[in-house]
Amino acid sequence: MSRAVLSIGSNLDDRLAYLQSAVDQLSPYLQGVSPVFSTPPWGPVPQGDFLNAVLIVDDATASPHGWLQRAQACEQSAGRTRDVHWGPRTLDVDVISVDQVISDDPVLTLPHPRAADRAFVLLPWWALDPEAMLPGRGSVLELIEKLPDAERGGVRIMPGLELRR
């Protein structure tokens, strides 16, 4: 079994449609889809808010790098470009964790090195799996509780916006 947690986000054009495209491409492996959240952008580049969600996927044949390849294929299908670091994007798919793997591989660091600091990852993940654990870091709920109020407060659930499995 290879269980992965993927964070998906979009802040260009039809944001929900881009998130749905990732769900559709990963549907053979989907175990769960979080609610959709609205999130202010991170970093120094002025841009619109993101829609974010978390997916739990499972495939006994997938390696961590296999999940990365699938994530990048979703981004490519959505026309993702990497022109500006932390800039706007059609679709961003990050591999947050795979099983209990801890790795400092420069191509795919696991768990994702900034996941524990990002409410836009932790809140959707916790909404989907209240017992979730970030390998090597502990309970997702405890990580959420340690975040600054400003970080948590900017991430809002979007009632009425749903991703179809």
Where in the chain are the domains? 3-157
Active-site hit among 15, 70, 94, 118: 94
The verdict on whether 94 is a catalytic residue reads: yes
The verdict on whether 80 is a catalytic residue reads: yes
Q: What gap in Å lies between CA 129 and CA 126, rounded to an integer?
A: 5
The verdict on whether 89 is a catalytic residue reads: yes
Cα–Cα distances (Å) from 143 to 2, 56, 70, 122, 146, in that order, read 24, 19, 27, 8, 5
Contact 8/19 with Cβ under 8 angstroms? yes
The verdict on whether 152 is a catalytic residue reads: no
Residue 45, pLDDT score:
86
- The β-bridge partners of 4 are 57, 98
Active-site hit among 3, 80, 137, 152: 80
- Rounded to two decimals, the pTM is 0.96
pLDDT tens by residue, 62-89: 999 999 999 999 999 998 887 777 789 9
Walk along the chain (165 residues) in steps of 10 and give the mean pLDDT of each run: 94 97 98 97 90 98 97 95 82 97 96 97 98 98 97 95 95
* Domain 3-157: homologous superfamily in CATH: 7,8-Dihydro-6-hydroxymethylpterin-pyrophosphokinase HPPK (3.30.70.560)
